[in-house]
Amino acid sequence: MCGIIGVAGSAGGTREVLLDGLANLEYRGYDSAGIAVDGGASRERNAAARGGIDVAKKEGELSALRRALVGETIDGSVGIGHTRWSTHGPPSDRNAHPHTDGAGRVAVVHNGIIENHESLRTELEAKGVAFSSDTDSEVVPHLIAEALARGADPEAAFREAVSRLDGSYALAAIVEGAGAIFAARHDSPLVLGIGDGANYLASDVPAFLEHTRDVVYLEDGEFAVLTADAWRVEDASGEPVEKEVQTVEWSAEQTGKSGYDHFMLKEIHEQPKALRGCLRGRVDELDGCVAVEGLDGLEAPAEVQFVACGTSYHAALYGAYLLGDAGVATAAYLASEYATSQPPLSPDTLVVGITQSGETADTLSALRKARGRGAETLALTNVVGSTAARECDHVMHLRAGPEIGVAATKTFSSQLVGLNLLIEELLPDASRGDVRELVSALRDLPAQVQEVLDDSRAADVVDEYFGAKSFFFVGRGVHYPVALEGALKFKEITYEHAEGFAAGELKHGPLALVTAETPVFAVVTGDGENARKTIGNVKEVEARDAPVVVVTDGVSDAAMYADSVLEIPAVHERTAPVLANVQLQLVAYHMAARLGRAIDKPRNLAKSVTVE
């Protein structure tokens, strides 16, 4: 969601570091952007910044902020920036971050939601404080200013303000003349970048990756102070916290488009590489076994509960199907529902949180509640050092590399492959069936994905059905989650109406919506019972004049009943969903491109959803 960038020590270049950092965070989704710099280069330019802090912020895209800064001389040695995704108050210049106190001596950026902001606002207004925005965040600079007025030093004033907040926050503040950034986190991610002659902070690593790959992840309740040549982390009581400096494997080049028109298209084409990364060192075809590092002590659970949101929830449904088919009691829950319904837990329940970023607020909340009730927890995530990775009892990293596009692509494919590996670790040997066959199929999968990418007719299919009113996606068994994901990708980036269904449910209501202007995408592989029944569903919609597109391996006669065909190789039943999904990703992408949509930054959406 919202993005934070801060830099201490970039004398003479702070402004550009902040703007570039915000550009690197655009993928998170936003509706306004702003920066604040303590330098005094043009103090009289901005009436709202009557002190030494210069502030510039604009509704809309980052380009609007850049235009507003043309000819301005804002710069200095310490600064913070922010991209806002609206929660309290509509998108506008006045609601954009950073927010300041009345005198312009304090500037603050904030991710999260301050739940007690109304009572704090009422208290401050009673003391004569005038607010200039509708946001919950603005109470923070006023609380800091109030403490400064009582004689507190900047760090103490920041700590005092934070102590009064309820809710979730990643906060960064600068105070006129302090030469430092003060930061704190609770239920919202914040990471430090340790540089040479400058130190950084951000809500996500790509913000400063071109400057340093050495990072320190803050935990809930920790405070950080950054200056040009030093950094320190303390707990809520002020005691020093020893932090490990980690080196991120990603490079700045990996987060670029590499010549592709969009990050999404690049990441779709990176899937062979991503899957190789997920599999590397974890499968042994000679011995026909799977071994995932870090999971050695994980015993076979009596029950598994998956918690996830959005695309990750579709992966959870896939995992639940595989485990259920192996005789393990399994359920997949939307994390937002799990956190409030609290399904029964047995002493041997394993709760698996699937989250691309490792920072998804609903999933973290579900995992924390499960752990608080005595469950063992495991995170399946792509981000090393993320909150989920640090807090769970076990973690399995996807190793898919950075994903910038808001619509998840390579991470979903990696989640499906990762779940296959995880399940082989969880199940006792007697339940595994022919692991050697699966290991061989997983080894071949990256090359098969490349084959689909090279030969796909998705762009031609889009040409055939451009202008249709609605789009349905159907599948059975392991292809039901793929149908849901295909519809989600389509609606996310095309803004057209799309729905995914279990194929057998068409006749229980959705057929009422089927017309000649409703293309139906059906996933059919193999020639087993699921394939035969799905072909029956294809005939049902065909009888109602709906055009049919089948994604098929050609093993069955599904193509005979289709108006268009998207082919995939005939493969193992557990890897076929990955290939079918690639075809549907390409359909969504090409339709969105035809429609001229903002593919990497779809409206109203964010890459990392860090509020519940």
For residue 312, the domain's CATH number is 3.40.50.10490
Mark whether 242 and 333 lie in a shared domain.
Answer: no
Query: What is the residue range of 540's domain?
Result: 456-612
Question: How many CB atoms are closer than 10 A to CB 540?
Answer: 16
Q: Which residues of 221-245 are buried (b: 16+ CB within 10 A; e: fewer)?
A: ebbbbbbbeebebbeeeeeeeebee
Q: What is the pTM of this model?
A: 0.74
Any domain includes 359: yes
Compute the distance between CA of residue 272 and CA of residue 469 in angstroms, rounded to an integer.
33
What does the pLDDT average to over 303-309? 96
Mark whether 250 and 261 lie in a shared domain.
Answer: no
Mark whether 227 and 313 lie in a shared domain.
Answer: no
Residue 113 binned pLDDT confidence (cut-offs 50, 70, 90): confident
Count of H-run helices and E-run strands, the chain: 17, 26
What does the pLDDT average to over 413-419? 97
Catalytic option among 2, 278, 309, 392: 2
pLDDT at 269: 94
Q: Which of 111, 84, 15 is nearest to 56 (CA)?
A: 15
**Neighbouring-strand partners of residue 434:** none
β-pairing, 303-308 with 349-355? parallel
pLDDT single digits (tens) 568-598:
999 999 999 999 999 999 999 999 999 999 9
Residue 18 binned pLDDT confidence (cut-offs 50, 70, 90): very high
Any domain includes 417: yes
Looking at residue 297, what DSSP letter applies?
Answer: T
pLDDT at 23: 87
Round to the nearest angstrom and report the end-to-end CA distance of the chain: 11
Tokens, residue 271 = 């899937």
How remote is the C-alpha of 399 from its chain's centroid?
15
Q: Are 112 and 97 in contact (CB under 8 A)?
A: no
Mark whether 375 and 423 lie in a shared domain.
Answer: yes
For the ranges 283-287, 496-500, 534-538, which has the lowest average pLDDT?
283-287
pLDDT at 294: 82
pLDDT at 518: 94
Looking at residue 451, what DSSP letter applies?
Answer: H
Residue 284 binned pLDDT confidence (cut-offs 50, 70, 90): confident
Residue 320: C-alpha distances to residues 301, 314, 324 (Å): 13, 10, 6
Residue 608 has pLDDT above 80, yes or no: no
Q: What percent of the chain has pLDDT over 70?
A: 93
Residue 366 has pLDDT above 50, yes or no: yes
Establish whether 607 is a catalytic residue: yes
Tally of residues, the chain: 612
Mean pLDDT of the chain: 90
Residue 430 has pLDDT above 50, yes or no: no
Degrees (nearest 5) of the Cα angle 185, 307, 497? 100
Residue 610 binned pLDDT confidence (cut-offs 50, 70, 90): low
Q: In what order do the strands lie in the sheet with 167-175?
A: 99-100, 106-114, 167-175, 181-186, 223-226, 231-234
Mark whether 436 and 486 lie in a shared domain.
Answer: no
Q: Are 600 and 406 in contact (CB under 8 A)?
A: yes
Q: If 0-12 CB within 10 Å is exposed, 13-18 middle and 19+ buried, where does residue 122 land?
A: exposed
Domain boundary among 254, 282, 315: 254
Mark whether 307 and 401 lie in a shared domain.
Answer: yes
Mark whether 232 and 277 lie in a shared domain.
Answer: no
pLDDT single digits (tens) 501-543:
999 998 899 988 898 999 999 999 999 999 999 999 999 998 8
**Neighbouring-strand partners of residue 551:** 523, 566
Residue 611 binned pLDDT confidence (cut-offs 50, 70, 90): low
Mark whether 281 and 212 lie in a shared domain.
Answer: no
What does the pLDDT average to over 108-127? 93
Q: What is the DSSP string of 10-66?
A: -TTTHHHHHHHHHHHTGGG--SEEEEEEES-TTGGG-TT--SSEEEEEEES-HHHHH
Any domain includes 56: yes
Residue 49 binned pLDDT confidence (cut-offs 50, 70, 90): very low
The identity of residue 497, as a single letter, is H
SS3 per residue for 7-21: EECCCCCHHHHHHHH
SS3 per residue for 356-388: CCCCCHHHHHHHHHHHHCCCEEEEEECCCCCHH
Mark whether 248 and 267 lie in a shared domain.
Answer: no
Any domain includes 136: no
Compute the distance between CA of residue 243 and CA of residue 227 in angstroms, rounded to an integer.
17
pLDDT at 429: 60
For the ranges 35-39, 468-472, 524-528, which has the lowest average pLDDT?
35-39
Any domain includes 145: no
Residue 50 has pLDDT above 50, yes or no: no
How remote is the C-alpha of 137 from its chain's centroid?
23
Residue 42 has pLDDT above 60, yes or no: no
Compute the distance between CA of residue 241 and CA of residue 251 in angstroms, rounded to an integer.
28
pLDDT at 27: 65
The identity of residue 507, as a single letter, is K
Domain boundary among 254, 270, 288: 254
Q: Which of 497, 509, 505 is nearest to 472 (CA)?
A: 497
Q: If 0-12 CB within 10 Å is exposed, 13-18 middle and 19+ buried, where does residue 490 land?
A: buried
Question: How many CB atoms are closer than 10 A to CB 393?
Answer: 15
Establish whether 2 is a catalytic residue: yes
Any domain includes 159: no
pLDDT at 287: 75
Catalytic option among 57, 243, 410, 607: 607
Q: If 0-12 CB within 10 Å is exposed, 13-18 middle and 19+ buried, where does residue 442 land?
A: buried
Residue 492: C-alpha distances to residues 36, 294, 363, 472, 497 (Å): 33, 35, 20, 14, 10
How many structural domains is the chain composed of? 3
Q: If 0-12 CB within 10 Å is exposed, 13-18 middle and 19+ buried, where does residue 90 land?
A: exposed
Mark whether 496 and 592 lie in a shared domain.
Answer: yes
Compute the distance between CA of residue 77 and CA of residue 14 in angstroms, rounded to an integer.
6
Mark whether 391 and 518 lie in a shared domain.
Answer: no
With tokens 């290991």, the residue in question is 439
Q: Are 58 and 64 in contact (CB under 8 A)?
A: yes
For the ranges 68-72, 273-277, 386-390, 608-612, which has the lowest average pLDDT?
608-612
Mark whether 403 and 386 lie in a shared domain.
Answer: yes
